[in-house]
Amino acid sequence: MQAEFWFDSWERGGFYTSFHRRDIHPFVERHTPAERFAGAHVLVPLCGKTNDMLYYRQFARHVTGVELVEKAILQFFTDNSLDFVQKGNRFEGERITLLCADFLSLEAEDVGQVDLVYDRASLVAMPLEMRLNYLRTLDRLTPVGAQQLLNTLEYDPVLPSAPFSIAPEEVVAYYADGYDVSHVEATVVPQHGMVRRWGLRFLMEHGFMLTKRRNLRPELLEPRLHEALAQMVLARNRRLPELVETAGLWPRGCDGASPRVA
Ligand X SMILES: C[S@@+](CC[C@H](N)C(=O)[O-])C[C@H]1O[C@@H](n2cnc3c(N)ncnc32)[C@H](O)[C@@H]1O
Instruction: Quote the least distance from Cβ 107 to ligand X, whole Å.
Output: 14
Nearer to ligand X, 31 or 239 (CB): 31
Instruction: Quote the least distance from Cβ 51 to ligand X, whole Å.
Output: 8
Phi, psi of 152 (to 5 degrees): -130, 160
How do 202-212 and 179-188 pair as beta strands? antiparallel
Nearer to ligand X, 25 or 239 (CB): 25
Instruction: Quote the least distance from Cβ 8 to ligand X, whole Å.
Output: 10
Nearer to ligand X, 125 or 132 (CB): 125
Nearer to ligand X, 17 or 147 (CB): 17
How do 90-93 and 96-100 pair as beta strands? antiparallel
Instruction: Quote the least distance from Cβ 206 to ligand X, whole Å.
Output: 15
Nearer to ligand X, 97 or 249 (CB): 97
Instruction: Quote the least distance from Cβ 222 to ligand X, whole Å.
Output: 20
Asked if omega into 157 is within 30° of 0 (cis), the reply is yes
**What is the number of other CB atoms lying within 10 angstroms of the CB of residue 165?**
21
Closest CB to ligand X: residue number: 48
Residues 24, 51 contacting (CB under 8 angstroms): yes
Summarize as ranges the residues that interact with ligand X (CB under 6 A): 6, 19-20, 46-48, 50, 66-69, 72, 102-104, 120-122, 125, 162
